[in-house]
């Protein structure tokens, strides 16, 4: 899953990952992400921190059992209190703009971490 309110970034990231063979669902805001995460089997989430209708940290807080691997992305620094609060739920933090190869590498490592190695998993 790619959850980001920036439509261009979300669409570009989704296409990059689809080109690599991943199945990708998209969410334009935190509420959409939360709804889909409660309904779909998602193994990896690329989750923007600052989104409308629930930010990424609120999405993580609302999930009883978060997806196996969460990659948090933001154009801003992560506050130390926020990092500490979600540390056990986050695999990696990425700073926007995320270069395509860095995104591919992070998702590949996340897939290996979640024991869902290889393409064709919903992300």
Neighbouring residues of 55: CB distance < 8 A, sequence distance ≥ 6? 30, 49
pLDDT of residue 94: 93
Distance CA 91, CA 113 (A): 9
Q: Residue 117: pLDDT above 90?
A: no
Which tens digit of pLDDT belongs to each residue from 82-111? 777 777 788 899 999 999 999 999 999 998
CATH value at residue 12: 3.40.50.2300
Which tens digit of pLDDT belongs to each residue from 20-41? 999 999 999 999 999 999 898 8
Nearest Cα residue to 57 out of 38, 69, 73: 73
Distance CA 43, CA 81 (A): 26
- Please check whether residue 94 lies inside any domain of the structure: yes
pLDDT of residue 89: 82
Q: Which domain holds residue 54?
A: 2-113
The conformation of residue 67, written as its DSSP 8-state character, comes to -
Tally of CA atoms within 13 A in the half-sphere of 16 that contains its CB: 20
- The token pair at 90 is 């986050």
Note the helical H segments in 1-123: 7-19, 30-39, 56-62, 80-86, 100-113
- Please check whether residue 27 lies inside any domain of the structure: yes
Q: Does the pTM of the predicted model rise above 0.75? A: yes
Q: What is the mean pLDDT of residues 65-79?
A: 81
pLDDT of residue 123: 54
- The winner for highest mean pLDDT among 41-55, 63-77, 78-92 is 41-55
Q: Residue 51: pLDDT above 60?
A: yes
Tell me the angle at which helices 7-19 and 100-113 cross, rounded to the nearest 10 degrees: 60
3-class DSSP state for residue 96? coil
Q: How many domains does the chain have?
A: 1
């Amino acid at each position: 899953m790619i959850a980001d309110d920036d439509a261009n970034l979300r669409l570009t990231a989704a296409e990059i990952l689809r080109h690599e063979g991943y199945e990708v669902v998209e969410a334009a805001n935190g509420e959409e992400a939360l709804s889909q995460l409660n309904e779909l089997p998602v193994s990896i989430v690329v989750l923007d921190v600052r989104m409308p209708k629930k930010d990424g940290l609120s999405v993580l807080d609302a999930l009883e059992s978060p997806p196996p691997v969460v990659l948090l992305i933001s154009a801003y620094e992560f506050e130390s209190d926020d990092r500490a609060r979600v540390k056990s739920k986050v695999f990696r933090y990425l700073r926007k703009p995320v270069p395509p190869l860095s995104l591919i590498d992070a998702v590949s490592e996340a897939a290996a971490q979640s024991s869902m190695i290889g393409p064709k998993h919903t992300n």
